[in-house]
Structure 1
Amino acid sequence: MTRPLSPPSVIRRGLVVVGTALALAPHAFAQAPIVIKFSHVVANDTPKGKAAEFFAKRAGELTKGRVKVEVYPNSQLYKDKEEMEALQLGSVQMLAPSLSKFAPLGVKEFEVFDLPFIFDDYNDLHKVTGGPVGAKLLKKLESRGITGLAYWDNGFKVMSANKPLRAVADYKGMKMRIQSSKVLDAQMRALGALPQVLAFSETYQALQTGVVDGTENPPSNLYTQKMHEVQKHVSVTNHGYLGYAVVVNKKFWDGLPGDIRTALSKAMTEATKVANDTAFNDNQDSLAKVKASGKTTVYSPTIGERFQLKKALVPVHKQLASRVGDETIQDIYNATGFRPDNL
């Protein structure tokens, strides 16, 4: 029969156990990586999807496995309308929402990116997203518990429908899907169209069943979501820009060790180049694939047709200035040299 331990023996045994546990603890913690759930609403083979996967890979490499980024594409975790609240609550750590998604948080200035024809090309755009104007806008998110890390391009948008869209008059009465944005609402109304707000994940079915007649998208979104299969006509208007801001829960970000934040920032810088280069190339390739499919007629407006479209839409800038912020609009005009009065 085993003799019961005397009190000193119990103490010694306990000290051995505790000491062993403490000795092993650092190794146990080192083996548990920091998990970042990165949620987005598009497919893995889109520019955003590819950049998110690249960021996940580089984050793991640069932190030597101390961080694990789990990417959830195609609205697997949250739909458009749900993901921002999930970020603020900490249910997900990172998102890359389209820029207009920040307006419901009260940061309406981000809708400036939705203004039609405010950027002529990528050169003008990157003067803003890569400069002080873009940084100033990201700073406005901090009071909402969000830290902005980068801007990622998707691309310039085309219009699609089941009838040709060439003249401004062709849009009259068309039910056009938009994402939630007062600017995009005003844009479609300026063309005589009827804007319909729908989640991105619901757009294909809505086009297929005739709930809406058409939509606007960069070619990569149009192609990867197979919208061209249910849209007979695409007009390469390049009238507006669709981009994203990669954002993270501020409390989570601020709580990370400094060296981890530095490594993740480097990974994000690299991923941003991947996102923007991929966006440009994929949109060119996607448009070519839409043409090659034979299911959709792709039309490039003449200089005159595009000028008339621009003339019809640029007044939206002034119309929405009180919402978006005249100062923000003027900041972009100054950065790009755009002069609406020259139209």
Structure 2
Amino acid sequence: MKTLTKFLTIAAMALPLPALADPTACDPGEEVLKFSVVTALKGHPKGEAALAYAAVINSELDGRYCVEVYGKSDLYPDDDTLFTALREGDAHFAMPAFAKTSSFSAKADIFNLPFLFDGPLHVLEFLQSDTIDQIGDDFVDDGFAVLGYASNGMRQFSATVPMRSPGDAEGMSFRVSSGSPITAAVLNIMGVTPVKLKFADVYDNLDNGTVQGQENTYANIEKMGFYEVQAAVTETNHTYIGYPMIASLSFLDSLDAETRSVFVNSAKLVLHERNRFAFELNQLSRQNILDDDGIIIRLSDGELQEWRDAFAPVLTEFKSSIGDEFVDAAIAINAAADPFN
């Protein structure tokens, strides 16, 4: 694994994008634009994508605009205050988790359906399809434009007890990022109580025992140190975390056509390139957890099937509320995906 880690590190460093943005490098006279994310900036798929986007804009529109990127919720958490700030021009770009956007688009809840996708590369096939545009179309009525979709990775469960089956955490409380009824249904099957907490508050609440477990990607678990206060991480890959990159329509509509195209097309370019490396960044985080004596439970095929069977009724229950045709299209894309060829 040491060799793999070294290879992946070199691969990430070789990404053909401009140097990461320096938030302090704005020149006098430039219009400062603020990009808010809740994760770490460096070494995290979301943070890296935001920095890369800022670097492109700060180069292409040098002297006119300067994008400053704020990480770890230093500017806004992913809640109503963020969306208000975007509408009022106090922030200009953000990448909230899909779980935070179901009020704008019921279709965004598709990523909470357990075991809908076989892996992160299968999700990328869906993100690159025309079908995903239906989510972006729903955002317009709320005053937002979706510039693209940033990938993180697949969620894993962790808890204060090692989990090999869905019932091993029965009676515990788990942090959730939203009030999604789908997530609540999944945890109900596990006998777990959902507790909604901001991302920045998760570590402290795990540490003090207010909640005993959570679900997240390896990048989130490692960068925020969640594994340090959990007995083990169980590698389920049950759902996906990704982020629509959004901007306010009022900001974009204030631009001339040429300038607007720079903001829009740069987002597509950066996200296409960065999403290729989200898998590698999560693998690096996975290895970092192991190197720091964290415990990761790899399930046998039979154990993983137990999780799949337990959660299967959730798809049936919530498919129609998301959209039957939309979910069927995602299922078909997943089945047809051949990401390694």
Q: TM class, shorter-chain normalised? A: 0.7 to 0.9
Report the alpha carbon displacement of residue 31 of structure 1 after superposing the two structures with TM: 7.0
Equivalent residues of 1:39, 1:78 under 8 A apart? yes
Whether 1:104 and 2:106 are equivalent positions in the alignment is: no
AA of the residue aligned to 1:40: V
Give the counterpart letter for 1:332 in structure 2.
Answer: A
Give the whole-Å Cα distance in 1 for the aligned partners of 2:67 and 2:50.
9
Q: Provide Cα deviations, 1:131-160, integer angstroms capped at 9, x if missing partner.
A: 111112111111110000010011011111
Task: Give the structure 2 partner of residue 4 of structure 1.
Answer: none
Question: How do 1:160-239 residues align onto structure 2 when only pairs under 5 Å count?
Answer: 160-180=158-178, 181-239=180-238
Partner letter of residue 112 of structure 1?
I
Q: TM-score, normalised by structure 2?
A: 0.86
How do residues 11-90 of structure 1 correspond to structure 2 at under 5 angstroms? 32-45=29-42, 46-81=44-79, 82-90=81-89
- SS of 1:149 mapped into structure 2: strand
Alpha-carbon distance between aligned partners in 2 of 1:123 and 1:217, rounded to the nearest angstrom: 17
**Counterpart Cα distance in 2 of 1:154 and 1:114:** 14
Question: Residues 282 and 250 of structure 1: is their aligned pair in 2 closer, same or farther, counting only changes over 3 Å?
Answer: same
Q: Matched residue of 1:140: which SS? A: helix
- Is 1:159–1:236's contact at 8 Å kept on the other side of the alignment? yes
SS in 1 for 2:150: strand
Q: Secondary structure at the match of 2:103?
A: helix
- With over 3 angstroms needed to count, the CA separation of the structure-2 counterparts of 1:36 and 1:189, relative to structure 1, is same
Find out whether 1:332 has 2:330 as its counterpart: yes
One-letter amino acid of the counterpart of residue 70, structure 1: E
Task: State the shift of 1:75 in Å.
Answer: 0.9
Match of 1:319 in 2: 317
Kindly provide the CA deviation profile for residues 79-136 of structure 1, in whole angstroms up to 9, marking residues without a partner as x.
222212222233211110001211234x221011111111112332122211111112
8 Å CA contact retained: 2:161, 2:169:
no
Per-residue CA deviation, residues 269-301 of structure 1 (Å, 9 max, x unaligned), is 23213431332111101111111111x211110
Displacement, 1:253? 0.8
In the other structure, the counterpart of 1:156 is 154
Unaligned runs of 5+ in 2: 1-26, 337-341
Q: Pick which of 314-323 and 43-52 moved more.
A: 314-323
- For residues 2-44 of structure 1, the C-alpha deviation after alignment (integer angstroms, 9 at most, x for no partner) is xxxxxxxxxxxxxxxxxxxxxxxxxxxx973333211111111
Q: Which whole-Å deviations, capped at 9, do the CAs of 1:183-216 have from their partners, x for residues lacking one? A: 2111111222211111101100000000001101
Larger % of helix: which? Answer: 1
Which secondary structure state, in structure 1, belongs to the residue aligned with residue 174 of structure 2? strand
1-structure distance, mates of 2:73, 2:213? 22
How far off is 1:220 after superposition? 0.7
> Structure 1, unaligned stretches of length 5 or more?
1-29, 339-343
> Which residue does 1:255 correspond to in 2?
254
Distance across 1 between alignment mates of 2:222 and 2:306: 27
SS at match of 1:35: strand
Question: Which runs of structure 1 show a deviation greater than 4 angstroms over 4 or more consecutive aligned residues?
Answer: none
RMSD: 1.7
**Is 1:191–1:313's contact at 8 Å kept on the other side of the alignment?**
no
- 1:84-163 aligned at under 5 Å gives the runs 84-105=83-104, 107-163=105-161
Paired letter, 1:74? K
Calculate the TM-score normalised by the size of structure 1.
0.85
What is residue 270 of structure 1 aligned with on the other side?
269
% same residue: 29
Kindly provide the amino acid, as one letter, of the partner of residue 55 in structure 2.
Answer: K
Distance in structure 1 (CA, Å) of the matches to 2:172 and 2:278: 28
Distance 2:156 2:124 in 1: 20
CA distance in 1, matches of 2:317, 2:107: 14
Kindly provide the amino acid, as one letter, of the partner of residue 295 in structure 2: T
Structure 2 counterpart of 1:297, one-letter code: I
Q: Does the aligned pair in 1 maintain the 2:29–2:63 contact within 8 Å?
A: no
1: CA distance, partners of 2:183 / 2:313: 13
Give, in whole Å, the separation in 1 of the partners of 2:71 and 2:106. 26
Question: Using a 3 Å threshold, how does the CA distance of structure 1 residues 330 and 40 change in structure 2: closer, same or farther?
Answer: same
1 CA distance for matches of 2:253 and 2:136?
16
Contact 1:190 1:316 in 2 (8 A): no
Q: Which amino acid aligns with 2:315?
A: H
